[in-house]
Structure 1
Amino acid sequence: MLSLLEGASPSTSGPAREGASIAALVRATGVEPATLDELRSLSTEIDAAVTAYLREREWVLFSRYDFDGLTLGERPDVVLGSILASAALDTTAQVQARTQVVRAAVPAKHHTEFDQLLASARDAMDLRDDNGPVTAEWPAGLVRRALLEVGARLVAAGRSDRRELAIELLPSELAATGVAELPDGNELQARADARGAQRLLAAPAVLGSPEASPPLDVLPHALSQMVGAVQAVVRHLGMDGQVAASGLHGVGIGTRSVTAVARVAASPEDALDRLQPGEVLVVACTTPAYNLVLSLAGGIITAAGGPMSHAAVLARELGIPAVVGAHAALVMVPDGATVTIDPVAGTVSVLP
């Protein structure tokens, strides 16, 4: 049933579609640019297309939901790689064919209800990836842009050696009238070191004892439906504490197997620094920020998630083979190993 929702999240696949259009223009020139500047210089049409591509993405966070995350414009190498690896994917005909098969199995008297429910589900599919950039990744990226400008002024004044340290400034400190009133680079570096050390602490997966789900039969009908829907989403996202898979077995997305080098990443920045086009990305989970760069991946393996998790939606929209919720992936898949993803079986195999 979930395959009927494929193609219903244009915000997820948008960067890949636009990137594929630019990549086609580049291929027509017969030149393989090594840098984004070289790509831009190939023609005025390509330069304009890249400018349009970056207009709403240059200052969007793509590695994490915090001011220390990178924005796309700070990594021209990622922009170049993402564009050149992008491919157009149109599964409209396949989805329509699958829909007709499923609809034929529904009693005729329920066809109207089926059509309405499917239309509502497809309408809702784009909400997360449409909402995320506008409410979080872009605003936070613009705040980072402002902080980097403050950092650049600290560097120019000789009070710091890296503009990125400005993200350690407190809100109250940003009310200063000049950089001379701000902490110097040594103080900001100490704050960065302390924050980095906290990240290494092993946080518990949950706090307190598990609570039972609220009984739906005591709620008004409309509220019962809403709470039931939320509970269903929690289960499908793999957030209910019930482990539905083990080892290197999880939920498969797609029908095409892929064999490639696995790139195990401990952080978004780690993934973006080392992932090569066509490699299989192995991570704990993905977020909508990954939409801008995952056209590079030949496959996706996540340790957490279910059939409605972000990684699953992303894989469907981009046509990337994936296995999500393979709980031991981060410890059983060595970085650099060759792996095979079989999405039909929902398995990951590490080849000798």
Structure 2
Amino acid sequence: MNPNNFREWLTQAGREIGAHSVACLRMDNPRLRRTIADNNIQVSAWLQNEMHGEMEYLERMFPEKSNPWNTYPFAKSVIVLSFNNLWGDPAAKHPFPEPAKDALLGYISAYAREDDYHFIGQAMLSKLTSMLGENIRAAATVDTAAVYERLFATVAGLGVVGGNSLLRVSGSGNTRVFIGCLFVDIELPEVIHEAQMPFACATCHACVKNCPTGAIQVDQPIDARKCISYLTIEKRGPLSQAEGRSIGRWLFGCDGCTLACPPRPKTDMRIPIDLEWLLQSSAAEIRRTIKGNATAYAGVTQLRRNAVVILKNMETRRAQEVLRWTRENSGSELIRQQIDLW
């Protein structure tokens, strides 16, 4: 790594590790400090209004997120990268069995195709650490640590945050990305881009229009309590009838807002799941299937709870038969409670 030619080196390194884009910030960047301070005010109000639902970890992690200089005191620079893990690519694979034509179906979000993006991003950042040289102290984060990764990405010019609170990036077609940050104890030259967006969010609102539950509103913070991704992944315990109706046929996540941005021909990349397979196979088989997949975060019982809700939404004789079988054979109190709740 040559500090005198760092921009070119970083661009090439990003290509080698498979990143979509890569940038670098100094931790003493004044705009970074101002942006984090402004963001802290908004996040604090969002938490106080309890719009995070049951995601108590967001409240617990807020002090660390709000002051990365204390959280990563050794860090002098941070490298920020975006990557897509074939999100939205028809070539992307998934580990789930193909349903029969007459199967009762639920759907998993397209981003869960291929390997879990957390693992992909961590592997990229590990390679990048090695490429920087020896005896470097580093901390890699990909969505699970106390870091405002989208904020770092926007200050670094990798994109802008859309109305759906996700990062919009420059580039063509189906580009939807995840973000990773690498905090390092060396002073690196800054590499800051200028995001070239073809249109402004203020003139679009496609994500707002395509949100099926109204969780996204113009110029308002997202109400996670209404978000299908929150309800199917993060909310534990049974879903109320209103919550259950709102998830439709989603087992894990939702593609409503991500399909809407950027505007392009729509390709249905949802993963179809046979609900009878999910409910009637052994838990061990399901765990083997989802190992290394993003759905492992939710776990078998959560996915089955969502399957029960989808079957209740169908209101067909066959769906009722599967629910009766599940009620009689499930060893999960949550599953039985969800069946009996409404």
For the aligned pair, the TM-score class normalised by the smaller chain equals under 0.3
Question: How high is the TM-score relative to the length of structure 2?
Answer: 0.25
Per chain length, whose mean CA-contact separation is higher, i.e. which structure has more relative contact order (CA < 8 Å, sep 6+)? Answer: 2
Q: Which has the larger radius of gyration?
A: 1
Structure richer in helix, relative to its length: 1
